[in-house]
Amino acid sequence: MIVLLKSNLDEASPEFQQTFSFLSQLPGIEVRLHQVRGAEQVLSEIYLIGSTKRLSTDEIATLPGVERVVRVSEEYRILGRHRDDRRAVGFEYNGVTFSQDTLNVFAGLCAVDSRESVEAMMTALEENGQPCTRMGAYKPRSNPYSFQGHGKTCLSYVFELAGRHGIRVIAMEITHESHLDEIRTALQETGWPTGVLIQIGTRNIQNFELLKAVGRQNDFPVLLKRGFGITLNESLNAAEYLASEGNSRVVFCLRGMKTHLGDPHRNFVDFSHVPVVKRLTRMPVGIDPSHSVGSRDRAPDGILDIMHVTSQGVAAGANLVLVDFHPDPQKALVDGPQALKREELPWFLEDVRLARECYERRHRLARSFQDTAPTPGGLTGV
Site for a copy of itself in 26-65 (CB under 8 A): 49
Residue 206 exposed, middle or buried by CB count within 10 Å (0-12, 13-18, 19+)? middle
Helix (H, G, I), strand (E, B) or coil at 309: helix
Phi, psi of 134 (to 5 degrees): -115, 140
- Contact region with a copy of itself (CB under 8 A), list: 107-115, 156-164, 165-173, 208-216: 208-216
Tell me: does residue 365 bind a copy of itself (CB under 8 A).
yes
164 or 203: whose CB is closer to a copy of itself? 203
Nearest approach in angstroms of CB 153 to a copy of itself is 17
Site for a copy of itself in 92-131 (CB under 8 A): 100
DSSP state of 143: S
CB neighbours (10 Å) of residue 34? 17
Tell me: does residue 369 bind a copy of itself (CB under 8 A).
yes
State the helix-helix crossing angle for 155-164 and 115-127, rounded to 10 degrees.
20
62 or 330: whose CB is closer to a copy of itself? 330
Nearest to 56 by CA among 23, 7, 13, 15: 23
Binding mask 13-32 for a copy of itself (x = CB under 8 A): --------------------
- Contact region with a copy of itself (CB under 8 A), list: 125-133, 140-148, 181-189, 246-254: 140-148
Nearest to 48 by CA among 7, 77, 80: 77
DSSP state of 188: H
Size of residue set near a copy of itself by CB under 8 A: 99
- Dist CA 27 CA 47 (whole Å): 15
DSSP state of 220: S
Tell me: does residue 326 bind a copy of itself (CB under 8 A).
no
Cβ atoms of 101 and 146 within 8 Å: the answer is no
189 or 350: whose CB is closer to a copy of itself? 350
Site for a copy of itself in 331-350 (CB under 8 A): 341, 343-344, 347, 350
50 or 191: whose CB is closer to a copy of itself? 50
Site for a copy of itself in 240-299 (CB under 8 A): 240-241, 244, 257-265, 268-276, 278-279, 292-293, 295-299
Candidates 93, 176, 192, 217: give the one binding a copy of itself (CB under 8 A).
Answer: 176
Nearest to 350 by CA among 292, 311, 294: 311
DSSP state of 281: B
Cβ atoms of 131 and 166 within 8 Å: the answer is yes
Nearest approach in angstroms of CB 48 to a copy of itself is 11
Nearest approach in angstroms of CB 233 to a copy of itself is 7
38 or 229: whose CB is closer to a copy of itself? 229
